[in-house]
Amino acid sequence: MKKYFSLIFSFAVMAGVVLADQLTKLWCVKELVHVGASYKLIPGVLHFTYVQNRGAGMGILEDHRWVFMSVSCVAIVLIFAYILWKRPADKLFLTALSLIAGGGVGNMIDRVALGYVVDMINVELIDFYVFNVADCAVCIGCGVMILYMLLDELRERKKKKETSQGA
């Protein structure tokens, strides 16, 4: 079972991200009904606002769906392949990869099925762009990846220091 831990863990995280993403998007479309409709969870701070994003993050490159689908497909396939062949043991690294892939799959489902991505999380307090659970997963995954790389660098430096002092 330990041999398959990385696969089971990765696919569980990915499935959780995709499920949460698709359920929140389904809620948004069913409850908010039309584009621009908003539900004020915490007035002036956090709203759910129905947006159809035909571009990438923050709406850049609007109506260039094929670019995002191509890049996303390549990234998702590469992450899947890496996890399948390398089976990384580090849980932090595995979590980062799984969050990024899960978020990519969540938005890919929208791009293929709808031609756009449903966004709904609207942080009014800082007047930020509207985003979704998949976007959160990708950003958190990238943050976790940076954390992993920093910790790995510290481990390497510590190991070198101990090796040079022991010699």
String of DSSP letters for 59-90: GTTTT-HHHHHHHHHHHHHHHHHHHHHH----
User: In angstroms, rounded to a whole number, what is the distance separating the alpha carbons of residues 36 and 49?
Assistant: 6
Helices 65-86, 91-113: axis angle to 10 degrees equals: 150
> What residue ranges in 10-160 does DSSP mark as E strands?
38-42, 46-53, 117-123
The residue extents of the domains of the chain are: 2-166
Which CA distances in Å does 119 have to 80, 84, 111, 123, 156? 25, 31, 12, 12, 40
For residue range 99-118, list pLDDT tens digits in order: 999 999 999 999 999 999 99
Residues forming the active site: 119, 135
pTM for the whole thing?
Answer: 0.89
Residue-wise pLDDT for 1-24, tens only, equals 677 888 899 999 999 999 999 999
- The most confident of the ranges 14-18, 36-40, 53-57, 126-130 is 14-18
